[in-house]
Amino acid sequence: MIRFTTASPQSKSIPTSRVLFAFEGEEGFANLTGSAASKVRKEIAKDGFKGRESEGTWVTPQGLPGTERALVVGLGSREKCRTESYRRAGGRAARIALASRQARLAVAWPDRGLKGVVSEIAQAFAEGLLLGSYRYTRYKTRPEDKVPPMESVVFLASAGTVGQVRKALDTASLYVEGVWMARDLINGAPSDVTPKVLVDNARLIAKANKGVTLKVFGKKELQKMGAGGLLGVNRGSAEEPYLIHLHYKPQGTPKKSVALVGKGITFDSGGLSLKPAGSMETMKMDMSGAAAVLGTFLNIAALAPKVEVHGVIATTENMPGGRAYKPGDVLTALNGKTMEVLNTDAEGRLVLADALTYAERQKPDAMIDMATLTGACVIALGALVAGLLTNDAALAERIKAAAESEGEPLWEMPLVAEYRADIRSKVADIKNIGGNREAGTIIGGLFLQEFVEKTPWVHLDIAGPAWLDRDFPACPHLLPGGTGFMIRSLLAFLRGF
């Protein structure tokens, strides 16, 4: 992780590489004025730099004392500039700095000129730097593939803003450390990141966080509990299934409690309803919901939300072994409902049936589940937007607001009551797929709703943004790779709940 520090703008011991913020269509800079700004503008104009959002280039500034070169990043037009613009500028700055082997940067943080609250935009820019500087090189052996990490960034802040900036930098580091952890888990080879590895990570988190306890239910305990969905999906795998329960309780008496539920399929072959080979290549990311829960808990004690938090993960592989569950089987979920299996590749909803039931038994005031549930959601919303389905409009609005602040877009879809007939089974209570290919994401949400009694609940289908295979400023390494989507948004939500 990059080490963030603050210093006075008059300090003499700061890096000689400076970051400048440029607005599109303006001569000046957000953190540079006067004749120096005019000279830099002339230099960057030669490279065709316009100041568009996420645009960036190196220049050798004239008349800027103590600066050997400047990394100029664009924020777009001043009128349309938003918090996310600073986050994307940070991601682009990290990408350019890494490509040029630049380990240290200085950022002159202005008291005015930037649109937005100082603490919010400082946190966003720092998050972008951290998100954009992540690299996954666990399996690389050639020295040239081991890109040296960025070491430090100094924020030059005046006495009036230094306190706000320091707090923002600390928050950004705590948020993104959880994202990095989730990315490492998602990007790991599926034979290395097994359900047991998720349990091991949960143990480390519980040990490191004051106020966090852990319960782990293995196969024997799940059999006694009657967790038929998780056990059924696990039948074809040589790896043991687990239900993981992390529990954070803040000091004092919390007024609210939230349950976070994550789908933890560490590899999804599709089971006997086998996926095509190409569709299986990225299925190590099918535990992204579980990774989001673990990443949210990583620094929860340091962030200290004043709300009780339950983290529930149902984890297994979905494999076509000799004892694998079959199309036509009927599984009994933890709440006693029977589920007819017509497609073993619709397994996420079966394990979440048990996880949601268990989470609701903890009597939370709100439940949020995250799952790479349906390919239909990717078709509908693409790779950058997650689907949201809910039984509580007020809860959904709070989550959407938190996600918007962190630049993680959500789009609400309806739980159409009339579509529930599509999952009515002739031999069991419900079946795990609809009768046709219509409304696949909504059908998945309606299935999950069967395992939520009265608790306000939001389902997030993160199948698209959990894994990215295109250039994006805050995730430049991901071609392709896991993103750690929703961790920052969940932390922002919890701290404000």
Q: Please list the active-site residues.
A: 275, 349
Report how far apart, in Å, the C-alpha atoms of 41 and of each of 20, 28, 73 are: 11, 8, 12
Packed helices 162-187 and 195-208: angle between N→C axes, nearest 10 degrees: 160
> What's the distance, Cα to Cα, between the start and end of the chain in Å?
28
Up-side HSE of residue 415: CA atoms within 13 Å toward CB? 18
**What is the 3-state secondary structure of 105-144?**
EEEECCCCCCCCCHHHHHHHHHHHHHHHHCCCCCCCCCHH
Report how far apart, in Å, the C-alpha atoms of 360 and of each of 228, 261, 356, 364 are: 17, 10, 6, 6
Structure tokens at 236: 């074809």
Amino acid at residue number 113? G
Distance (Å, whole) CA 229 – CA 312: 15
Residue 418 burial (C-beta neighbours within 10 Å; 0-12, 13-18, 19+): exposed
Distance (Å, whole) CA 341 – CA 324: 12
Distance (Å, whole) CA 473 – CA 54: 7
Distance (Å, whole) CA 327 – CA 333: 17
